[in-house]
Structure formats: C-alpha cells, structure tokens
C-alpha cells in the first residue's frame, strides 16, 4: 500500500553527532491539511547513548534538502543564470525558493503545479514576483535552473523542453518505479547524485532510464570529479541520513548556545 515508514540512522564523528530520523510518507491523502511527509529526528549523545533532543524532522528535511540542491546548483548551473523554474508547490517548493532566491540572483522565477490553485497560493505568499505558468512546458522553456519537487510517478519534465546547458535538481520520485524526468533528459544530461548506491536502488529516474552516473556531488566538492557547468546537468537528490545528522546537531548547538 502507498504508505511508508523510513528509518534513517547516521553517525558523524566529525560532528560528534548520532541521530535517527523517522519519516512517514502517506501519498494522496484525502485530508490535504495533513502533509504527505512527516518526520522526527532523535539526537543522541554518542558517548553514552542518551537521548538529548527530539527535533522537528519535517523542517530539517525541507531545509537540508534545499541546501544540498543549492550546493549542486552553485557548482553545476550555467554562468549568468537568469530564470529559475520550480515544478511543484509543496513544502519543498517553498524551502527551495527561499534558499535559491537568497543565494542566487534570478531575473525571473516561474512555478507550475498540477493544481493551479496551489501554484497561485505559492506565488501570492512568497512576497516577490513569481510567474504562474499554465503548463510545465511553459515554465521550463528557456529556464536556466529547474527544480522538480512533485509527487509525480510518471515523467513531467521532458528533454526536448530543456534549454541546452540548463541545470536540473530532481528532488521528487524517490521510489524505484516513480519518474519525474524522461529518458531523453536523463540520457542526454550529465548525471550527478548524492549517493550512487541509493540512486541505483531507489531512483526510478536513474534505474528505469539506464542513465550513467557521472559523479556523486561529494566527488565534485572534493575536486576528484569536474562540475561541467557548460553541460546540461541533472542532480538527482534522494537525501542522506548524515545530512539530517549534521543539520540536527547544528540546530541543537545553536539552541544550547542561546540557553
């Protein structure tokens, strides 16, 4: 059935942090006031196993996912990028919009969502001009940076729409049989992932297209693989437990310092 409980434990010696995130995913709920994804992060003392804090994992997930997309975009987007396109209007759309407009300067931001009312609500609530598009193709055409944060299970972004040299952050479609991007886009772009192992077992976009993974984002950050911003690039984001660990420790340390 379309309901999942994910358990994501991680330990970071560098950050002296031990966490587990519990995340539930209930797709297509009739009660739309309840988020499809809900999460809690438990932060432990690595020295003795004591539970130190219980944190809002939904906020942490939204923020750390958008932050990693922003890192990928900083490395991979074309120079002089002017148009940002967001496909989807849920929690991740808001978190991506917030950090992308904080870190980068775009002349135009576009949004498309299957339910137009949600796109209109998004545009009216962010406090800056956002163009609501009537189709995904309209939103994508000519865009330099594209973010897909949808609940799609079949492709909603097609290669023949995408401007050569654009950068795509593919955040949705986190199951091995779900897609956001079509085969043409996956096979004709340079593909970056957060984790090879995860992408090859969890990402329908990667598995079903047979696209070759060029590099993990960490390899680019370490300088062992080039970024290739002159190419059309895709960053397939699935999320890693260590991202939640680092973010939770950061929040806890900031809270502790204030108390």
d(C-alpha 58, C-alpha 21), whole Å: 10
Helices (H), 31-115: 57-76, 91-103
Over the range 35-62, which residues count as b (16 or more CB within 10 Å of their CB) and which as e?
eebebebbbbebeeeeebbebebbebbb
CA gap 78, 107 in Å, rounded: 14
Q: Is 9 exposed, middle or buried (0-12, 13-18, 19+ CB in 10 A)?
A: middle
Q: Give the residue ranges of the chain where pLDDT is below 50.
A: none
Query: Residue 108: what pLDDT?
Result: 98
Contacts of 64 (CB under 8 A, 6+ apart): 239, 243, 244, 246, 247
pLDDT value, residue 31: 66
- Residue of 253, 257, 249, 243 lying closest to 65 (CA atoms): 243
150-173 tens-digit pLDDT = 989 999 999 999 999 999 999 999
* pLDDT of 112: 98
Say what the pLDDT of residue 28 is.
64
Q: What percent of the chain has pLDDT over 90?
A: 91
Domains of the chain (ranges; CATH) run 3-59+242-258 (3.30.1780.10), 66-240 (3.40.50.720)
What confidence score (pLDDT) does residue 36 get?
78
Place of tokens 């401007």: 163
């Amino acid at each position: 059935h379309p309901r999942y409980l994910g358990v994501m434990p991680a330990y970071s010696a560098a950050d002296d942090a031990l966490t587990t995130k519990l995340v539930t995913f209930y797709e297509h709920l009739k009660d739309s006031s309840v988020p499809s994804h809900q999460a809690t992060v438990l932060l432990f003392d690595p020295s003795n196993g004591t539970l130190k804090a219980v944190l809002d994992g939904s906020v942490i997930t939204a923020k750390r996912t958008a932050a990693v997309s922003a890192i990928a975009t900083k490395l991979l987007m074309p120079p002089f990028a002017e148009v940002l396109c967001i496909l989807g209007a849920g929690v991740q759309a808001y978190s991506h919009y917030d950090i992308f407009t904080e870190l980068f300067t775009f002349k135009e931001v576009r949004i498309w969502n299957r339910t137009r009312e949600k796109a209109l609500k998004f545009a009216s609530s962010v406090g800056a001009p956002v163009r609501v598009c009537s189709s995904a193709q309209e939103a994508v055409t000519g865009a330099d940076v594209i973010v897909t944060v949808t609940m799609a299970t079949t492709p909603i972004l097609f290669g023949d729409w995408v401007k050569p040299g654009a950068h795509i952050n593919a955040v949705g479609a986190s199951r091995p049989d779900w897609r956001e991007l079509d085969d043409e886009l996956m096979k004709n772009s340079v593909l970056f992932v957060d984790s090879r192992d995860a992408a090859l077992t969890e990402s329908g976009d990667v598995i079903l297209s047979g696209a070759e993974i060029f590099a993990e984002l960490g390899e680019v950050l370490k300088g062992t693989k080039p970024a290739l911003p002159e190419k059309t690039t895709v960053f397939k984001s699935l999320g890693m437990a260590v991202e939640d660990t680092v973010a939770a420790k950061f929040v806890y340390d900031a809270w502790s310092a204030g108390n």
